[in-house]
């Protein structure tokens, strides 16, 4: 049975990162429609004009830049903004085999997906603690619950967010602040195109060309399985429910894949992954099973 999520009558101010497209845009629109005051932030403010026309407060933020975070927090403080919620949605996936991904790119993914997210959260928490309430919703991924080749660094950032969200939830409970983690599967957005771009560059001549092409096709086949609006609905629930869930895993394919990863022994899960890539035209020979 499909769950219905409805916002409570009391509306407050919510900050949404990565609001210029995809899931962040859908979350911001859903919150505005429910009567929340929305602070929509992203690097590309020119892409948020429609949100501004709908009533959002559009602000610039580079989540990987400490100075940018400090400016944003100071502006909110100077304007007397009291946030009821923080939706940490900003993030990206850059795929590549582990031998070939420059360490600088790996660090960049951690800066955006982990360290920047936590730096913003740290900066906003004192105000939430002072007021004795608040909701933090971290947008993770099913990638934090399973793994695929060619996405090792991205999976690593989402695995890290799993642990951070759990620890944060327990640490903040005495202060009336609730923490939830949303774990989307493949959602229709720019994410898959961005992830695929790095796989399709300079594949000729690399020993990993076939596995990279295979993973690119997997991403292409699955990129429209879910809708951003599905994520927006569960974020509304996490922000308003008296007892929000610790985790929200969706849509159905994400539940199936995570369930299989949990159920199957590692060797069998690995064999399934290799078979999937082989069907997409990739050679995954690695010697022994």
DSSP string, 88-127: E---------TTTS-HHHHHHHHIIIIIHHHHHHHHHHHH
Distances from the Cα of 230 to the Cαs of 24, 42, 186, 262, in angstroms? 12, 21, 12, 24
**Is 154 among the residues known to form the active site?**
yes
Q: Does residue 251 have a cis bond before it (omega within 30 degrees)?
A: yes
Count Cα neighbours of 168 within 13 Å in the Cβ-side half-sphere: 24
The DSSP call for residue 41 is: E
Catalytic residue among 39, 154, 208, 248, which?
A: 154
HEC string of 181-242 equals EEEECCECCCHHHHHHHHHHCCCCCCCCHHHHHHHHHHHHHHCCCECHHHHHHHHHHHHHCC
What residues are annotated to the active site?
154
């Amino acid at each position: 049975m499909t769950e219905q999520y409805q916002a409570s009558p009391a509306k407050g101010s919510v900050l949404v990162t990565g609001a210029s497209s995809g899931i962040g845009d859908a979350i911001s629109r859903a919150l505005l429609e429910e009567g929340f005051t929305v602070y929509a932030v992203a690097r590309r403010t020119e892409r948020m004009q429609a949100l501004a026309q709908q009533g959002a407060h559009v602000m610039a933020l580079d989540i990987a830049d400490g100075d940018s975070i400090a400016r944003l927090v100071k502006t909110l403080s100077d304007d007397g903004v009291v946030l009821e919620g923080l939706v940490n949605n900003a993030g990206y996936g850059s795929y590549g085999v582990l031998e070939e991904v420059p360490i600088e790119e790996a660090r960049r993914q951690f800066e955006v997906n982990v360290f920047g997210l936590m730096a913003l959260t740290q900066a906003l928490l004192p105000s939430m603690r002072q007021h004795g309430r608040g909701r933090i919703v971290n947008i993770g991924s099913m990638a934090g619950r399973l793994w695929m080749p060619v996405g090792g660094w991205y999976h690593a950032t989402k695995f890290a967010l799993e642990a951070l969200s759990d620890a944060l939830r327990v640490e903040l409970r005495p202060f009336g602040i609730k923490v939830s983690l949303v774990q989307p599967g493949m959602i229709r957005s720019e994410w898959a195109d961005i992830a695929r771009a790095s796989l399709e560059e300079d594949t000729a001549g690399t020993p990993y060309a076939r596995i990279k092409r295979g993973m690119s096709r997997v991403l292409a086949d699955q990129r429209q399985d879910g809708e951003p609006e599905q994520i927006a609905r569960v974020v509304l629930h996490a922000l308003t429910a008296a007892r929000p869930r610790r985790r929200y895993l969706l849509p159905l394919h994400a539940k199936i894949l995570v369930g299989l990863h949990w159920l199957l022994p590692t060797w069998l899960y690995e064999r399934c992954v290799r078979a999937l890539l082989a069907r997409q035209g990739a050679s995954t020979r690695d010697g022994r099973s």
